[in-house]
Structure 1
């Protein structure tokens, strides 16, 4: 991983740009004095004292008893364990402080999930809470990033039905794919994702990691049903085009409601074809 991306990862963990530069420089050159650290990292000498102090308070660096003082970094694995413990403690403190607020989410509301990472986080959360069945329309890139969560769901007995136009590296009997390479498909379509969990939750929208796009999450039954029917149509057309029996998946997705509808259609279809005379 290049240094720029590594700095981005550290900033996502709460480091400032200067703190990221100082810590990475110490990993490469240690022990170092403040002067050496400023020179090698590009952190201004006027700022290096405060930067080192914050890293010390965080536990990311440690001072040696030398003159002048030299600093060494906490090894990366130990740093991540430290940050994880600190983060869990802060979560518990926040949970304790907020537990007195009982704010109910309005049923049927449509929530915007902003950004690609947040979309993946929400998808993983939904998959991890699935109890019976998952329907998913997805491209290979997003499927790869959700594969571990989908495998875990399957192992605990959740039925998974997946449709895609692209090849998928996913195990299961109910995987329907046209195996069209993503590069070719991108010439005519944008990446999208539809995820339905247990017939009651839906995540749907563009899956674009280049821009800050919005996806929608809802438990509105009408919208969930519409999205489910969209995947049903794609799988049904797949079955017709590929001459493959997909009825077992389609029936499972219809949740039994269409059985009664089929009876009504048959009843009134017969009436329509009865002779007038």
Structure 2
């Protein structure tokens, strides 16, 4: 039987009242470190609580359902139906961006120039030999917004890496660089967008049995970035598949095919 503890972070009475009944509210009304956004309550929960290997944990923002289209009831049913054959379940927004970019950090560079270099500084400091220029991720081993539901092993590894990242970001001025947040032009620390992508690193450092909730045929294409038509959707799905085949086989023909297919997709220039 799958034990489930999915927490939904709330900041005020409004977001507290929006916590779905299948979720457990995670109080962040004090918001002591607003510069860390959801990272702060997740980090503190994992610091203070014993993490059990056989429990499914998740730590979701108030926007989880809006961003993914997945209700709390559907999520718990997915875990109950498929949890016995997995360690990690990825339910991520931005399926099209996961498919198009070679990894989540290249995607971040599109929105936040300079973030790849800053992430590389962190990786070097913790002695992780990951070259982001060659790093390949797809929908089956990466995601956005910490929308990862996983058993204790993953969260213990997340905590270990996140403690290093927190210490480095707190003690190095270069990690206090500010960037804009999408089209809202809100100023946000760059570190926020690095921590959201730590899952892509963690899921590539160890073997996990991973299930991805595939939304490539149902969720909309982000029209600010791509042409919204059937042809683009097919090309994006193919990009994701070629990256997956490459990771499974280490055969460069699939990576070459990925780049060829990707070249046929028009990526719009980012404008404010």
- TM-score, normalised to structure 2, is 0.22
Higher helix share: 1
Q: RCO higher in 1 or 2 (8 Å CA, sep ≥ 6)?
A: 2
Larger C-alpha radius of gyration, 1 or 2? Answer: 1
